[in-house]
Amino acid sequence: MSHATPNSALSLVALQVGNTRTKLGLFKDGALERSVRFENEALAPIVEEATRMWAELDDCELTAIVVASVNEQVAAPLREMLGDQLGEEIYRIGDSMPVPIGTCLDPSTTPGTDRLLNAAAAFELLQSACILVDCGTCVTVDFVDGEGVFHGGAIAPGARMQLDAMHHGTSQLPAVTLARPVGDPWGSNTQDAMIRGVYHGIRGLVWRLVEQYAERFGGFPPVIATGGDTELIFGDDELIDRIVPDLTLLGIRAAARAALLPDDAANAPTASRAELGALGTDWANFDDADDASGDGGDCGCGHKH
């Protein structure tokens, strides 16, 4: 990586290794150019795509490769393969590169890197309290206060995990593919009944948790959603203010900026309100700060809300 100056813009190949899939993001001069997702078993194609992305950064002044992972069995060989292929330092979130977000958690708790990255990205963009919903292998619903402090949240089995558990944990329930329910609110066959139970169960779970968080906070902060199943489950749900599929990749960018750029460059806004529309959502008209200004009381960890 070349030397950073106050005017440097970081170009980045970011890899987000999840429990079942790995997502890669190409950032050029700080902006997300594209992202692509692979099943975790496809290590060779992942390395090939990362190599292609890295080659696209040849003309960029300041570059880095960063891996974030909640699945070390996949991430460890992937980092080794990338190092051998590219001959570059592979930065690791949580090790050589901390996540730039404060926490208010039990001392012995180590939250998942993906949850912290989502929190860092959302607060960097919004600069306000928010609730984060991630629908993937698991469903997480987390709270970040108005000072950018991550308070934790709730974790539940994801949709596919629930369907698999019903199939493997019983003698008669079939294997079912996740889909959005259509037609009557009740399922007229076993498959439809399973899908409705999982689909509406997750929506109801998230609604109830958001209500509890808002009650404790003293106002309804914006609800941001991400994860592979989010569009299917929450695409038509009025509870969700914005769906940002690449939120975790944006968190990797935030961590890389904080670690690799000079303080004045790292603390500079990554995008203006008008430019945030490039994320594929209407961030430019997202007037959340004034609407989510509840006093919320004292959480007991010394941070005001």
Active-site residue set? 114
DSSP bridge partners of 251: none
Angle at 177 between CA 176 and CA 178, to 5 degrees: 115
Surface-to-core class of residue 29, CB atoms within 10 Å of its CB (0-12 exposed, 13-18 middle, 19+ buried): middle
Query: CB atoms < 10 A from the CB of 106, how many?
Result: 8
Please choose, from the candidates 4, 278, 252, the residue with its C-alpha nearest in 3D space to the C-alpha of residue 124.
Answer: 252
d(CA 195, CA 11): 42
Give the chain's length.
Answer: 305
Query: CB atoms < 10 A from the CB of 95, how many?
Result: 8
In what helix (H) or strand (E) does residue 131 lie, and over which residues does it extend? strand 130-135
Please provide the DSSP assignment of 25-51 as one string. EEEETTEEEEEEEEETT-HHHHHHHHH
Strands 31-39 and 102-103: unpaired
d(CA 173, CA 148): 44
Separate counts of helices (H) and strands (E) for the chain: 8, 11
C-alpha distance from residue 103 to each of 88, 110, 211, 213 (Å): 32, 10, 22, 16
d(CA 208, CA 196): 18
The secondary structure of residue 298, as a DSSP letter, is B
